[in-house]
Structure 1
Amino acid sequence: MGWPGIVFLGFVIGVAGWWLNPLRRSGAKRAARFWLAVAAAVLGAIIAKMLGNLAGAFHDGDSLEWLTCTLVALAAVTGAVCLTARR
């Protein structure tokens, strides 16, 4: 899985995280929250891939890479959405 795959994975996780968020239906900041969720997921997946490759934990295309990038992207979306919900 190369960089386009990581970006696509992050985009899909971000859209799913935004869609499953109960605050999705509220008010005027829907578009901002959507792009924040997508950006957080993509950034989380990219950081997980870079750190995993630097540490030698996995190589491109490993199952562990997919799992790690997915879990970090989910955590990033959760954190970003929780922080914006407090406002």
Structure 2
Amino acid sequence: MGWPGIVFLGLVVGLAGWWRHPLRRVVSKPFGRIWAAGLVGILAAMLAKMLGNLTGAFHDGDSLEWLACALLALVAVTVTVGLAARRRPDGST
């Protein structure tokens, strides 16, 4: 799987993780943080691919690559949505 596949996987996992997160309803706007979830999913999937290739844990197209990229993207989106929900809607901390 090349870089376009990783970007697509990260985007899909990021958006799905945002949609299924129970705290997304706490955020003030209905679609206020969807762009952040998509971006974080993409960045986390890219990071997982780079780290896996650097360490030699997997090669391009391995099943472990798909799993590692999807799991890291899901964890990153979960943390991002959880932190966004902790912020007050009026912008104060």
Could you tell me how far 1:54 is from its partner in structure 2?
0.4
- The AA in structure 2 aligned to 1:21 is H
Q: Does structure 1 residue 62 correspond to structure 2 residue 62? A: yes
- SS of equivalent to 2:51: helix
Partner of 2:30: 30
Partner of 2:76: 76
Partner of 2:5: 5
- The AA in structure 2 aligned to 1:12 is V
Residues 49-70 of structure 1: per-residue CA shift (max 9 Å, x gap): 0000000000000000000000
Residues 32-55 of structure 1: per-residue CA shift (max 9 Å, x gap): 310011011100000000000000
Partner of 2:91: none
Q: How many residues align?
A: 87
The answer to whether the 8 A contact 2:27-2:85 is kept is no
Q: 1:82 to 1:27 in 2, by over 3 A?
A: closer
The answer to whether the 8 A contact 2:18-2:78 is kept is no
Residues 9-44 of structure 1: per-residue CA shift (max 9 Å, x gap): 001001101211234445653333100110111000
Partner of 2:53: 53
Scaled by the length of structure 2, the TM-score of the pair is 0.85
Please tell me whether Structure 1 or Structure 2 has the larger radius of gyration of its CA atoms.
2
- Which stretches of structure 1, 4 residues or longer, exceed 2 Å deviation after superposition? 21-32
Scaled by the length of structure 1, the TM-score of the pair is 0.90
Q: Which residues of structure 1 form unaligned runs of 5+?
A: none
Deviates more, 1:5-14 or 1:18-27: 18-27
